[in-house]
Amino acid sequence: MTILVTGAAGFIGFHTAKRLVEEGKRVIGLDNFSPYYSVSLKRDRARELQKYGILVCEASVQDGIRQLVEKEQVTHIIHLAAQAGVRYSLQDPDAYIRSNIDGFLSVLETVRTHPYIVTVWASSSSVYGLNPTTPFSEKDRTDSPANLYGATKKANEAMAHAYHHLFGVVLRGLRFFTVYGPWGRPDMAYFLFADKIMKGETIEVYGQGRFRRDFTYIDDIVDGICGALEGSNPYAIYNLGNSHPEKVEELIACLESSLGKKAKIKFVDGPPGEIDETWADLQLSKQELGFSPKISLSEGINRFCDWYCSYYC
């Protein structure tokens, strides 16, 4: 088994690649080191992966995937490379089309000509958009996206279905719910809040405090990715979340406790494209992947803050 992880210098890709090597798998990484957030953090992740014998090749998915698949005799792909973030899609929509649509098409075209490859790829809870029913089930309609990021991930799901139907390739998509943890993305709320708390700056809490998120610890997400890699369904979409939505105020309370400092909070209106609540129905992923999240928000934030302080302080 030789596994290509795209986005290997990203948050989820980094943790996934490490886990796979620890389980005795051969792993090849691919990442374009996009400057969307701190490139130095991505470089540090890549250097950490080198300690595990993982080389991260620097190229876009469009430019690098086919050559790596053929050169390294790849048997499995975990496609995690993407342009993430809801708010940034209002600033640079082209980045989402290049990375999420064109990049995923390159993956699909590669596996179409190498049909023995098993592909696991990242979708997002953002596909549920304005769906009013909670918890979110894979059976729910996902045709009312609230932002361009969610729309590109919905498009990925439609593309994957078409390629599986036409060419029989194995494609398992995973809808991630608000993933957090050590080595995380600096643009996400928990990371931004920790930074501002430590600097004594004011936190802006969107939506006047009404937002609730299904915060999911990174190790639990990696469990689900590994479960999907070993799965038997040739085409499926799965939720990977904690199935326990928390108010943002609870996240802040956990950060205050772990960092030993009080937050200065200012409530503001939410930006366009944000939804009030995410909540994963895990019935299908538990049944088919054996997925069972274990890490509570308080424990996960403790682990994140330990890493944050060791990395930045």
Question: Is 24 domain-assigned?
Answer: yes
Question: Is 127 domain-assigned?
Answer: yes
Residue 126's φ and ψ, nearest 5 degrees, are -65, -15
Integer angstrom CA distances of residue 199 from 27, 43, 107, 194, 266? 38, 24, 42, 9, 15
Question: Is 302 domain-assigned?
Answer: no
Q: What is the CATH number of the domain that holds 21?
A: 3.40.50.720
For 184-225, write each residue's pLDDT tens digit. 999 999 999 999 999 999 999 987 778 899 999 999 999 999
77 is in which domain, residue-wise?
2-179+218-242+279-294
Question: Is 202 domain-assigned?
Answer: no
Residue 208: its pLDDT value, please?
75
Residue 92: its pLDDT value, please?
97
Residue 269: its pLDDT value, please?
85
Q: Does the reported pTM lie above 0.75?
A: yes
Cα angle vertex 70, ends 64, 74, to 5°? Answer: 95
List the structure tokens of 4. Answer: 């290509």
What count of other Cβ atoms lies within 10 Å of the Cβ of residue 244? 15
Q: Which of 149, 163, 217, 308 is catalytic?
A: 149
Question: Is 265 domain-assigned?
Answer: no
Grouping H, G, I as helix, E, B as strand and the rest as coil, residue 274 is coil
Question: Is 230 domain-assigned?
Answer: yes
> What kind and span of H or E run contains 249?
helix 248-259
Question: Is 263 domain-assigned?
Answer: no
- 128 touches 136 (CB < 8 A): yes
Nearest to 159 by CA among 224, 100, 217: 100
Q: Is 132 exposed, middle or buried (0-12, 13-18, 19+ CB in 10 A)?
A: exposed
- What is the torsional sign of CA 201, 205, 209, 211? negative
Amino acid at site 177: F
Residues of the chain with pLDDT under 70: none
Grouping H, G, I as helix, E, B as strand and the rest as coil, residue 162 is helix
Integer angstrom CA distances of residue 258 from 126, 203, 297, 309? 29, 16, 11, 10
The count of structural domains within the chain is: 1
Q: Is 163 a catalytic residue?
A: no
